Each structure stands twice: as C-alpha cells, then as structure tokens.
Amino acid sequence: MKKITRSLLQQKAFLSRLQAIESAPLELIDHGGGSVQPGEIYLANESRFQENYFQEHLTTYAVGWRDPSDISATRRVFAPEVEVPPFFEYSEAINAEEFIGTDDDDVSAIGADYKRIEPDKRTKVVAKVPDRGIMLVVDLRSVRGQSGWEQKKVARLLRRVERNRLRRAVALINAAATNTGKTWGSSADPDMDVENEQKLALNINGVGFNRVVYGHSAWILRKQAYRAQDNAGGYASAAMNESDLAGSFMVDRVMVSRERYQSTDAAKTEIVGSTVHMFHAVDGADVDDASNIKAFVAKYGEGEQGAGNFVRVFIAPISINLVGIVVSYQELVKITSTLAIRKFTVS
C-alpha cells in the first residue's frame, strides 16, 4: 500500500512539473556564440549551423576538383570570371565616346588648354553577388562501408553546378543576341556568313566580336555544307578545325559546344543547340571594361566558413539515416554591353 501511495505521489508531482513547463511562456535564447545548455531551446543561428556542418576537407577537395569533361572551359568562354566583393559596382557600357573624334580635335593652340572630352557614357550599377547552392540527399545505409563516398557525391554536385552555370550564361547570351536564320545547304558558305557578321559587328561597336561558339548541331551542318561542295574551297573549309577557323576569322576563340542537359526523363538536349554565338568577352577583365558578358564571382569573406574560397561544402543531418550534402558558391552573370552580340539559328 505504501509503495502504491508513493508511486501515485511521484506521478502527481511529475505531472505537476510537466504542467508548469507547458504553461510557462516559451523563451528563445540567443546564446551569442557561447556554449549551449541541455534542456534549453535556442534561436536558429546561421553561424552556428555553418560551424557545425562545414566540411573543411571536402571544401579543399572541391577547390581542387576538375571536371574530366571540362564543362567549365566552355562556361568560361561564354562568361569569363571577374572576382569582386559580395557588394560591388560595375559598368554597363555603350562605348560610343571612344570612337568619336576628328583628325585635329587634339590640337592645342598657343595660350589655350587641351581640349576636354566627355567621359565614356556608362551606366553604373550597384549589385550583390547572390549565394547559390544545391543539396544532394544521401541515405547513409546506401554508402555504408564505401571509401571516398563523400568526395564522389561532392563531385556529382560540382558537375551539376558547372552545367547550371553554363546554361545560365548561354541563356543570357541567347536573350541579348540579334538573331539571323541561316540555311546551310550545299550552296551555302557558312564561314563567309560569319565574316559578314563580323563586318556588321565592327560597324556597331568598333571592335567586333572575338569569340565564336558553335552548337554541336550547327557545327555538323557547317561540315556537311562544305563536304557537299565539289571545289577547292569546300574541301579546304571542311577540313578546318576550331583553331584554323579562329585564325581565319581573326578572333581569339572558336569553340564547339557538345554539352547536353536532361530535358525530359528519357532525353537529353544540347545546351547551345543548332546555333552559332558571336560576342565579345575578355579573360581577366575588370568591372568597367566594355565586353558583352561577365560572371562576377566572390570569395567567402572573413568570419564566414570557407573564408577565402569560391566554393564550400556542408554536410547536415536530415534524419537518422539521411544527410544532406550542400555545395555553395557565389556568382552573378550579367550582360554588361548588348552591342554587337550576334547569333545564327542554323537549319
């Protein structure tokens, strides 16, 4: 009887404490970076999250990772990287002032000052580089006993990131380009089409385009057109590779893009497709040069996890068996001048 009474009293005391806890106001505590205490409820804190789940060794792996298919090479042709702080200012150029002038507008008469010119007409834009990232959910039971599984998953995410970055740059160039339809049959001269387009581009921006990128289908149509021609010019043109064409066009780069993306469950689609893109881009550019397109990238700053790197990796638990692997980076791709961006849609 005593045991039952004691048990009932203990149960009542427990229920009384539980009711007191439930009726008490909920106070969320900002621990301010200090140690947490068991039983307390804390405000979610981004820095605490990053500190707990940041993976330094996987970030080091991501920094040194190189894609065997080298999608990044195509991406950098379309959108060369320009390193900037997270908040920055860049110029949108029309570059007209550089080409204004006469043969004697720099003559200084005796007693007169040198002629003043107006600064280049550029629009200054204040921008922020957004933080981007994707997460892959992994069931730990599926990788149990596998060595290096984390690095393999990070590599998979990085390939996805590179493909996304390329598609973003191509979409911007597509939207900004002046498009012309071309039919490259046996009577066409695809290379002269590009040469004539360069002449138009020079009349627009004064410098023309310095990069020509063919989609895989457009490149095949070019070769088919020349191989169907029974003459010396057709034979010679059909045998030319990208480097040969760059020399012929007098441009910095000619590239054929063979990259695809998953467009449906059962099909893949060319990222560039049956098009030819002609534009002006510069490796090692700054925020003020008058090239057509730039990819502004920022390193993570002091006080952030992964400081000094362009990419970082986190692993966060989702449930008992699931974890999320996150790859994050900072990038803003912008058309900084719309002048003389050209495109052929080829059939």
pLDDT digits (tens, 9 = 90+) for 155-195: 999 999 999 999 999 999 999 999 999 999 999 999 999 99
- The DSSP letter of residue 304 is S
Residue carrying structure tokens 């000052």: 113
Q: Is residue 9 part of a domain?
A: no
Q: Is residue 89 part of a domain?
A: yes
Give the pLDDT confidence of 240-263 residue by residue, as tens digits: 999 999 999 999 999 999 999 999
CATH code (residue 323)? 3.90.1690.10
Q: Is residue 108 part of a domain?
A: no
Task: Say if residue 42's pLDDT is above 90.
Answer: no
Q: What is the pLDDT of residue 13?
A: 63
Mean per-residue pLDDT, 299-313: 93
Of 195, 164, 189, 155, nearest in space to 278 by CA: 195
Of 78, 60, 120, nearest in space to 309 by CA: 60
Q: Is residue 110 part of a domain?
A: no
Q: Is residue 45 part of a domain?
A: no
Give the pLDDT confidence of 96-153 residue by residue, as tens digits: 556 665 556 677 778 778 877 665 667 889 999 999 999 999 999 999 999 999 999 9
Single-letter amino acid code for the residue at 123: T
Mean per-residue pLDDT, 15-24: 56
Structurally, how many domains does the chain consist of? 1
pTM over 0.75: yes
Q: Is residue 29 part of a domain?
A: no
**Strands (DSSP E) found in the chain:** 81-83, 87-93, 122-128, 131-139, 178-182, 211-215, 253-257, 260-264, 267-270, 275-279, 293-297, 311-317, 322-335, 342-346
Q: Is residue 48 part of a domain?
A: no
Q: Is residue 8 part of a domain?
A: no
For the chain, the average pLDDT equals 86
Instruction: Tell me the percentage of the chain whose pLDDT exceeds 70.
Output: 80
Contact between 325 and 314 (Cβ < 8 Å): yes
Q: What is the pLDDT of residue 123?
A: 83
- The SS3 of residue 5 is helix
Q: Show the domain range for 254.
A: 54-99+115-346
Q: What is the pLDDT of residue 26?
A: 47
Q: What is the pLDDT of residue 37?
A: 44
Q: What is the pLDDT of residue 7?
A: 60
Instruction: Tell me the percentage of the chain whose pLDDT exceeds 90.
Output: 67
How many whole angstroms from its chain centre is CA 178? 23
